[in-house]
Chains A and B, each alone.
Chain A
Amino acid sequence: EPEVTQTPSHQVTQMGQEVILRCVPISNHLYFYWYRQILGQKVEFLVSFYNNEISEKSEIFDDQFSVERPDGSNFTLKIRSTKLEDSAMYFCASSEGGQYYEQYFGPGTRLTVT
């Protein structure tokens, strides 16, 4: 069964460094998302992406964050200058269509900022 994959599974970085989290969505899906979950807290939406542009973003997704679909298969989240509070599990998701469709999540990347 097709699934969303994410790399790396765990990333440790120092405060102020740039990180890129990578995702390969399900191949025929058109909508892509990033969410994050700080330990012990709710899953929070960051951004949605369709037709090579951001369709929606949350207050969390400030200028330090960016997303890109550099080729036909990858979807990336870049954090320009990491802060301690960026430590979280980051989930990529994809869906075949928009609001009516099921979102499928990847296994997550655990980001630890020291």
Chain B
Amino acid sequence: KQEVTQIPAALSVPEGENLVLNCSFTDSAIYNLQWFRQDPGKGLTSLLLIQSSQREQTSGRLNASLDKSSGRSTLYIAASQPGDSATYLCAVPSGAGSYQLTFGKGTKLSVIP
């Protein structure tokens, strides 16, 4: 059964700092990995989808990497801003051929002005 772990559970950084969020998963037979952002009481905003054949995917100040063999992904946020404060979720398919996503519990990021 796929399990996703995100470390740290919470992170507080001063504005302007670069930071890394970590995600690990147990079943490496995945097609892709998705990073989401969730604001309090709100829906999930897709940030990046990284396919299993890719090692990195970039969108603006965000860069996601994927090491499928070791079951790890990182989300790098450059030059953090207070507007980046949110919970960041990582999700992977539950197994080969599965449509369902298994989510981690998330990392709650606070960027202090």
Contact = CB atoms under 8 A, between A and B. Distances in A.
Interface in A69-114: 91, 98-108, 110
A107 to B, nearest CB: 4
Contact of B43 (A42, A48, A102, A108): A108
A99 B51 contact: no
Contacts of B49: 101-102
Nearest to A58: B100
B99 A33 contact: yes
B46 A100 contact: no
Contacts of B43: 91, 105-108
Interface residues of A, number: 26
Contacts, number: 58
Given A48-B99, A104-B46, A108-B43, A99 B31 contact: yes
B71 interface: no
Interface of B: 31-32, 34, 36, 41-46, 49, 51, 89, 91, 93-94, 97-106
B99 A102 contact: no
Interface string A34-57: 010000011111001010000110
A76 B17 CA distance: 43
Contact of A102 (B34, B89, B106): B34
A91 B44 contact: yes
Contact of B99 (A42, A99, A106, A108): A99
A112 B103 CA distance: 23
B98 to A, nearest CB: 7
A43 B31 contact: no
Given A45-B100, A99-B99, A102-B49, A107 B93 contact: no
